[in-house]
Chain A
Amino acid sequence: MSSETSKMSAQGVQVYYGANHALKDVNVEILDKTVTAFIGPSGCGKSTFLRCLNRMNDTVASARVLGTILLEGEDIYDKRVDPVTLRAKVGMVFQKPNPFPKSIYENVAYGPRIHGLTRNKAELDEVVEQSLRKAALWNEVKDRLDAPGTGLSGGQQQRLCIARAIATSPEVLLMDEPCSALDPIATAQVEELIDELRSQFSVVIVTHSMQQAARVSQRTAFFHLGNLVEYGETGQIFTNPRDPRTESYITGRIG
């Protein structure tokens, strides 16, 4: 089902936070139209690596990123690359839903507007509707687009943030524990959404729930102590992992 073409390529990526060597020589190919899950214990480097993929680590003063990360063959750390434009192409959804304190409509319209992706109000309306539809939120909010985004339920807020992230037509969507603050029903809705988004983007998800990784991803990468220990097809990782550290982690033997 998943594509075999590489969308993003990381080569020899190292990250230091000051003197702390947080990520050690990570090489990985993120495939196009595929959900890739990063799993591993807290502090293993999975979120750090996720943040390298859209240069979110630029905002951390002590962080130093070495190695190469390519998006469609282009180095995203090249001086000519504008990080803001990059983040429109490589969108992100965070652990806690963080809608802007604005209306539902304005939350979604914000990205397309600042990036100048639409020419008039009609086009913008269309982008907002399509994004909310893709995020499976349209039917619930179409009659109250002017209501504040913060007034929605937690699950709805997270889907609003997803709608906001996909409104700029990204090529890759990064999700850092997108369901950890949601109840099981909202989680299932977001997981269903991730599976649908896969037909259009690459999705990379960091999750502490291994069952979630198993449910939504086609590829799984296991990080431990800053190393990428094992990367492979999700079914293989969960039935017959090759590395004993992966085995220990997914069977609940090391924390």
Chain B
Amino acid sequence: MQTEKHIVSAFDRDLEGVQATLMKMGGLVEAAILDAALALETRDAELAGRVRAGDAAIDALEEQVQTECARLIALRGPTASDLRTVLSVMRCAANLERCGDYAKNLAKRSLVLNGMMPIEGAPGSIRRMARAVVMLLKDALDAYIARDSVKAQDVRQRDREIDQMYNGLFREFLTHMLEDPRTITPAMHLHFIAKNIERVGDHATGIAEQVIYLVEGRIPDEERPKASGVAALTEASQTAPRSES
């Protein structure tokens, strides 16, 4: 990876600038996911409201990243690893923006859930999953800044753990709904939350793939282990009726 400085130092400042904005975005997204999960568990409407309002700042940063990158391409004509840096910053910003939307959605659903019958243990499980996914996201962003493709590979592998947590929650919610139809509405909301957190894991993987592209100049094409998808869900949904009989 390139560590030498550019002859034109303003070029370095521009490149560092867009990456700093990206990392700031990452910090906001991580906090939003954790806060939203906490608001869900503690039924804290005020905190949920702050998460919802905070998404605008994430969106604004994403726009700033895209504008700065477009400007950098137009004015500096980046090539090779510089070009890959700019392209990967743009893609990562798009990934983070989606994660911000999921955090906002979680906060919104937590407000709805506040008015409903609680499902024993579910908010705690959601929060554990949220913490795990934020750790994954954080590692992906750390790998980005350190240009560490080994760490990025590790993030890709670990996304499976998030998938497994999602499958576990899916099964759990299904069981609740089968046992007591009154839980259907809250369980459906919780299921969407779990699914959205699982999607955050996919975006962390997307960022990890950008790290590999940045360092090695290629998008990884090896199959990564997946524990989501139709097969896993079929298995998960079969478990519940069996426990019924």
Contact = CB atoms under 8 A, between A and B. Distances in A.
A59 interface: no
B27 interface: no
A244 B8 CA distance: 19
A253 B81 CA distance: 12
A247 B2 contact: yes
B217 A252 contact: no
A251 B82 contact: yes
A155 to B, nearest CB: 23
A247 B80 contact: yes
Q: Chain A contact residues: over half helix, strand or loop, or mixed?
A: helix
A213 to B, nearest CB: 10
A229 interface: no
Interface stretch (A123-131, A196-204, A233-241): A233-241
Contact of A241 (B4, B5, B80, B218): B80
Interface string B36-60: 0000000000000000000000000
B104 interface: no
Query: Size class of B's contact patch?
Result: 10 to 19
A251 B82 CA distance: 7
A238 B7 contact: no
A238 B80 contact: yes
B7 A252 contact: yes
Interface string B1-26: 01011111001000000000000000
B83 to A, nearest CB: 6
Given A239-B217, A255-B7, A248 B2 contact: yes
Nearest to A236: B217
Chain A CB within 10 A, most for which of B2, B77, B81: B81
A241 B216 CA distance: 11
B84 interface: yes
A248 B7 CA distance: 10
Interface in B77-108: 77-84
B5 A251 contact: no
A210 interface: yes
Contacts of B8: 252
Interface in A217-246: 238-241, 244, 246
Contacts of B11: 252
B7 A253 contact: yes
A251 B78 contact: yes
B7 A240 contact: no
B199 to A, nearest CB: 30
A92 B217 CA distance: 37
B82 to A, nearest CB: 5
6 contacts: A238-B80, A240-B217, A248-B4, A250-B80, A251-B6, A251-B78
Given A241-B80, A246-B80, 4 more contacts: A214-B79, A239-B80, A253-B7, A254-B7
